Structure 1
Amino acid sequence: MDSLTIALLLLFGLLFLVAEVIFIPGTTVVGLVGFALLAAGVWFGYRDLGSNTGHILLVSSLAAIGLLVYIGLRPKNLARVALNDVHNSHVRDARLPDVQPGATGRTLSALRPAGTVLFEENRREVTTRGEFVPAGTEVRVLRIEQNRIVVESIG
């Protein structure tokens, strides 16, 4: 194999490793292909160009890989691809409802049999036991079934 082919194997191996470490970290396939190309380039360098050239190719490839890993794994570079945002919001737990049985509210939409009710300042999706309730009607919470609030109209 000629020296141009060996140089291209080494070059593409390094390019694949650059892509793996810097641009698409965590894919592994691109990194394995890059490592295989580098290993093939070094092996052909030993076989076709002699042991002295093979040693030079091996040492320079290892140095390039070490520099690439050092540059790619610096905290500043990792911060570009890592998730650093902290989410402090919360989800209402249906097991601990903020609307208790017996609470009253006013329908914002018609309940046919489901719709929206305003409890104090909280809008909640509710259902009835099957009856239709027009908008603007006062309702009372009968019970809470898993994640559903069941209401009835008052009067």
Structure 2
Amino acid sequence: MDWLTIALLLVFGLLFLAAEVIFIPGTTIVGLIGLALLIAGIWFGYRDLGSATGHLMLAGSAVAVGVLVYVGLRPKNLNKVALTSVNNGRVRDARQPDVELGATGRALSALRPAGTVLFATDRREVTTRGEFIAAGAQVRVLGIEHNRIVVERVV
């Protein structure tokens, strides 16, 4: 095998490894192909060009791979593919009611027996004990049963 083919094997092996480490980390197959090309190039170099040239290619490839790994694992490059943002959102826990017993509100829709009530600035789905309450009426919280807010009309 001539020296140009061996050099191309080494160059493409390094390019594939660079693509794996720097541009598309975690794909593995690209890195394995690059490693196979590097190994084949070094092996052909030892076989066809002699041990002195093979040692130089092995040392050069080892240094190049070391530089690629160092460049690829720097924090600046890892931040491109790592999740660095923090989600501070939260979900209202239905087990911890945000409407207190005895709180009053105004019915936004007719409660037949379920509907919507406005407590201060919070809209909540509520239910009655079976009675009809017209829209706009004042209601008071009787209790919270499981995930339902039970209300009655304020007279």
TM-score normalized by structure 2?
0.75
Kept after mapping to 1: 8 A contact 2:129/2:150? no
Unpaired segments of 5 or more residues in structure 1? none
1:31 aligns with 31
Unpaired segments of 5 or more residues in structure 2? none
CA distance in 1, matches of 2:115, 2:48: 78
Q: Match of 2:99, as an amino acid?
A: V
CA distance in 2, matches of 1:80, 1:69: 15
Partner SS state of residue 56, structure 1: helix
Partner SS state of residue 27, structure 1: coil
Q: Match of 1:120, as an amino acid?
A: A
Give the CA deviation at 1:36: 1.8
Q: For residues 59 and 107 of structure 1, do their structure 2 counterparts lie closer, same or farther at Cα, with a shift above 3 Å needed?
A: farther
* Residue identity (%): 66
CA distance in 2, matches of 1:114, 1:5: 79
* Root-mean-square deviation over aligned CA pairs: 2.9
Give the CA deviation at 1:93: 1.8
Kept after mapping to 2: 8 A contact 1:107/1:135? yes
TM-score normalized by structure 1?
0.75
Q: Match of 2:34, as an amino acid?
A: G
Mapping of residues 52-131 of structure 1, within 5 Å = 52-108=52-108, 116-124=116-124, 126=125, 128=127
Kept after mapping to 2: 8 A contact 1:137/1:153? no
Q: For residues 28 and 120 of structure 1, do their structure 2 counterparts lie closer, same or farther at Cα, with a shift above 3 Å needed?
A: same
Q: Match of 1:55, as an amino acid?
A: H
